[in-house]
Amino acid sequence: MDLFFGNTPLEGWEEINFIDDDSFIILCSQLSQVAEGRNAQGPTGRYFVKTEDLQFATQYPVLLAHQAPATVPPQKPEEMLIGTHGVILEGDTIRLCLLVLRSSMPMRKRTAL
């Protein structure tokens, strides 16, 4: 998690008020950039997320996951690719789906921090 200092979010960021629900978990699983607000005394309890990440997670509310071998720890961790499976939360129902990349699905570029 990144840190944010000050009262006004930077351009392209917005404040979120939901860190204790499914939406926050979905944002994190999709590798969204989330920043914790801080001041001279420490954490402020405010959280910020990149606007484009929030829009994408809202449009595609899928918790990205992976399937791992039954061994602990996995014998071949290089075969575990995040995003091969998705968890979809619909009310009280939880669905596990195998995700297949299709050319019609939008792709987002990720850059290293």
Domain coverage including residue 41: 1-60
Give the Cα separation of 57 and 70 in Å (integer): 30
Pairing between strand 2-5 and 34-39? parallel
What's residue 11's pLDDT?
A: 85
81 shares a domain with 53? no
54 shares a domain with 68? no
What's residue 111's pLDDT?
A: 38
Q: With CA atoms as reference, report the closest residue to 12 among 4, 24, 23.
A: 4
CB 43 within 8 A of CB 36: yes
3 shares a domain with 49? yes
46 shares a domain with 9? yes
36 shares a domain with 8? yes
Domain count, the chain: 2
55 shares a domain with 7? yes
pLDDT, tens only, 24-74: 888 888 888 888 888 888 888 888 899 999 999 888 888 887 766 666 666
CB 87 within 8 A of CB 60: no
The encoded tokens of residue 61 equal 């509310």
What's residue 110's pLDDT?
A: 41
Average pLDDT over residues 78-101: 76
* Residue listed under structure tokens 């829009």: 55
15 shares a domain with 69? no
What's residue 88's pLDDT?
A: 85
What's residue 52's pLDDT?
A: 94
